Amino acid sequence: MTSKPRPSFPARLDRAPGPVPARGAAMQPMSAAKPALATAKPVVRQQPHGLGLDSHAVRQAMVNKLAGQGISDVRVLSAMGTIERHRFVDSALVNQAYEDTSLPIGLGQTISKPGVVSRMAELLLNGRPGKLGRVLEIGTGCGYQAAVLSLLASEVYSIERLRGLHDKARENLRPLRLPNVHLLFGDGMAGFAKGAPYAAIIAAAGGEAVPQAWIDQLAMDGRLVAPVASSTGGQQALMVIDRTPQGLRQTVLEAVHFVPLKSGIA
């Protein structure tokens, strides 16, 4: 992995430190999980039909490709093989669900590429044994990444600023019965202080800076992974921020392409 440590904060690309982005509307917590089902495991349909999308083999082929691209954490590969991505996309797009491509999910947003979801999950796990503690996801979208994260973390708090997608994610996740996923409708720019501190924070939308609130809500030894755009070219790169006993450590990784991080709710 090629990485360039960057010493300065607030976290920005190619830009001098500036103001923290404005915070939008207040959060309205809404749990999608049914806490009564505390021991529920994800419901994976056990009815493979040849090489249809219900088939484990189709996901396994995707997992093999991810491994070929360098994803090596078996927990991530297992989660990617378990969560049925085709259940998170519109019926007209299901035949592309296991390709390594982002797909439209409505309201101008996209479901992230499996390659990117697994890469970011692997970065969050950081090779440490066991499960992650509490994770904050900014940008629920259709809920796919939240479902993947639910298998890797003790609790997942996922915020979405678009009501239509928050509702869609709730619908998509309901049959999976993931008691540790908590969907929130609100502006993720302010993070979600009630769930803080987080062992990991992951953003599925890219701004020109990492909001200070996210950094404030990161636990000691926690890790934040977010796409950050340079203000000049608009090119985004993955940024990793680690909170260490010695202070914050910032690393900029490969170029990525995410939908923009926006303020407020709609």
- Residues annotated as catalytic are 112
Q: Are 149 and 121 in contact (CB under 8 A)?
A: yes
What's the closest the beta carbon of residue 207 comes to ligand SAH, in angstroms? 8
Closest CA to 141 of 114, 110, 119: 110
Residue 177 identity: R
How many CA atoms lie less than 13 Å away from 147 in the CB half-sphere?
A: 30
Judged by CB under 6 A, does residue 208 bind ligand SAH?
Answer: no
How many angstroms separate the Cα of 62 from the Cα of each of 42, 118, 119, 124, 253?
A: 19, 11, 14, 21, 23
**Binder among 114, 139, 195, 222 for ligand SAH (CB under 6 A):** 139
Q: How many residues form the binding site for ligand SAH (CB under 6 A)?
A: 24
Based on CB atoms, which residue is closest to ligand SAH, 76 or 138?
138
Judged by CB under 6 A, does residue 165 bind ligand SAH?
Answer: yes
Q: Where are the alpha helices (DSSP H) in 94-199?
A: 114-125, 144-150, 163-173
Q: Which stretch binds ligand SAH (CB under 6 A): 34-42, 71-79, 105-113, 215-223?
A: 105-113
Q: Which stretch binds ligand SAH (CB under 6 A): 108-116, 170-178, 220-228, 245-253?
A: 108-116
Judged by CB under 6 A, does residue 161 bind ligand SAH?
Answer: yes
**Residue 179: Cβ within 10 Å count:** 18
What's the closest the beta carbon of residue 51 comes to ligand SAH, in angstroms? 24
User: Can you name the residues that pair with 76 across neighbouring β-strands?
Assistant: none
DSSP state of 96: G
Judged by CB under 6 A, does residue 189 bind ligand SAH?
Answer: yes
Based on CB atoms, which residue is closest to ligand SAH, 152 or 205?
205
Q: Are 157 and 180 in contact (CB under 8 A)?
A: no
What's the closest the beta carbon of residue 111 comes to ligand SAH, in angstroms? 4
Judged by CB under 6 A, does residue 172 bind ligand SAH?
Answer: no
**Binder among 114, 115, 188, 222 for ligand SAH (CB under 6 A):** 188
Residue 81, Cα to own-chain centre: how many angstroms?
Answer: 17
Judged by CB under 6 A, does residue 145 bind ligand SAH?
Answer: yes
Distance (Å, rounded) from C-alpha 215 to C-alpha 224? Answer: 8
The residue ranges that bind ligand SAH (CB under 6 A) are 109-112, 138-142, 144-145, 159-162, 165, 187-189, 204-205, 259, 261-262
